[in-house]
């Protein structure tokens, strides 16, 4: 594959994992015998597309992360391990400030272990074409929107409903501009990077096919599924 653009991955690992309720933040818990964060790092390390990686984590986890993950598994593409902020968008901004030389950025949740090279490639094609794209899978379930009392207001057409994942991939200048603008705005309810573009820029964002295994580890039962998925890939 011919590739001349510089692609940086920003790997988010500064969350507290409140919904998991474990002592150790979920990105550092083990799936089989390796930390959650190991799996996506391994994919970036082995990828033809990714040139370097910035890990964003809590200040008091930086040395642990450098020693027990980056050095221990010899992840040579990691160029920085940097402190994050209170909210996900704060952590993303910290990462963005450290990769001004990138043409494209892959923003990825460290809590999603099961990305694949194929997925990174699909995203690369889309970001080259559109400048902004996010991984997602068509919803298998019917989705209903409700009011505050739990009464159904609307049922969107299932064919148009996607469950959104990461990586979310952007032309660097586009996402940086949107995040710069966001700093002076109200940020309520922003849960992903595409929303920053939707809110700030009105820039088109395309959804590309992620993977049904690309789950986010959020609550305890996700770890059960993750062990099965990790076991399967090990055998392949
Ligand atoms: N994240 C981050 N900085 C924050 C909040 C979240 O880097 N201030 C990261 C998490 O580490 C995770 C990803 O963003 O990899 C998605 O967030 P989420 O699943 O919500 O993780 P947590 O915020 O840790 O979990 P919870 O919301 O249950 O507290
Ligand atoms: Mg969170």
Kindly give the number of the ligand 1 atom that is closest to the alpha carbon of 109.
Answer: 15
Distance from Cα 98 to the centre of ligand 1, integer Å:
20
CATH homologous superfamily of 7-132+166-235? Spore Coat Polysaccharide Biosynthesis Protein SpsA; Chain A (3.90.550.10)
Distance from Cα 197 to the centre of ligand 2, integer Å:
19
Q: What integer pLDDT is reported at residue 233 of this predicted model?
A: 77
CB 134 within 8 A of CB 214: no
Half-sphere exposure of 202 (CA within 13 A, CB side): 0
C-alpha span between 19 and 6 (Å, rounded): 35
Q: What integer pLDDT is reported at residue 187 of this predicted model?
A: 83
> Block means of pLDDT (10 residues each) for the chain, length 236 residues?
87 96 94 97 98 98 98 98 97 98 98 98 98 97 96 94 98 96 88 88 93 97 96 74
C-alpha span between 80 and 99 (Å, rounded): 10
Instruction: Give me the torsion for CA of 223, 30, 51, 202, rounded to 10°.
Output: 30
Largest CA distance in the chain: 54
Tell me the domain boundaries of the chain: 7-132+166-235
Give the residue from 171, 11, 164 showing the smallest Cα distance to 103: 171
- 134 three-state secondary structure: strand
Name which residue sits closest to atom 8 of ligand 1, judged by CA: 87
C-alpha span between 6 and 46 (Å, rounded): 16
164 within ligand 1 shell (Cβ under 6 A)? no
Name which residue sits closest to atom 7 of ligand 1, judged by CA: 14
Q: What integer pLDDT is reported at residue 199 of this predicted model?
A: 81
Residues 6+ apart with CB under 8 A from 78: 41, 52, 53, 54, 55, 70
87 within ligand 1 shell (Cβ under 6 A)? yes
Q: What integer pLDDT is reported at residue 232 of this predicted model?
A: 84
Which of 11, 13, 14, 15 should be mutated for ligand 1, with most atoms under 8 A from CB? 15
C-alpha span between 85 and 179 (Å, rounded): 14
CB 62 within 8 A of CB 56: no
**If you ran DSSP here, which 8-state letter would residue 72 be given?**
T
Q: What angle do CA 9, 224, 233 make, to 5 degrees?
A: 55
Which pairing describes strands 52-57 and 162-171: parallel, antiparallel, or unpaired?
A: unpaired
Q: What integer pLDDT is reported at residue 236 of this predicted model?
A: 58
């Amino acid at each position: 594959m011919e590739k001349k653009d510089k692609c940086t991955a920003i790997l988010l690992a500064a969350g507290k994992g409140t919904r998991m309720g474990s002592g150790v933040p979920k990105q550092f818990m083990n799936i089989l015998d390796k930390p959650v964060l190991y799996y996506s790092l391994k994919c970036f390390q082995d990828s033809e597309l990714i040139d370097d990686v910035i890990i964003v984590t809590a200040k008091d986890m930086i040395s642990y992360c450098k020693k027990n993950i980056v050095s221990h598994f010899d992840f040579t593409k990691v160029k920085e391990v940097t402190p994050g902020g209170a909210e996900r968008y704060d952590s993303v901004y910290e990462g963005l400030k450290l990769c001004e030389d990138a043409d494209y950025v892959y923003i990825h949740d460290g809590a999603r272990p099961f990305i694949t090279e194929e997925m990174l490639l699909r995203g690369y094609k889309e970001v080259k074409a559109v400048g902004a794209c996010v991984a997602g899978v068509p919803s298998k379930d019917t989705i209903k929107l409700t009011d505050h009392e739990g009464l159904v207001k609307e049922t969107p057409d299932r064919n148009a409903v996607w469950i959104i994942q990461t990586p979310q991939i952007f032309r660097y200048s586009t996402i940086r501009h949107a995040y710069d603008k966001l700093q002076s705005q109200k940020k309520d309810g922003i849960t992903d990077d595409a929303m920053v573009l939707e809110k700030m820029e009105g820039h088109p964002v395309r959804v590309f096919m992620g993977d049904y295994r690309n789950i986010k580890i959020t609550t305890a039962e996700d770890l059960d599924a993750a062990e099965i998925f990790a076991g399967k890939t090990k055998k392949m």
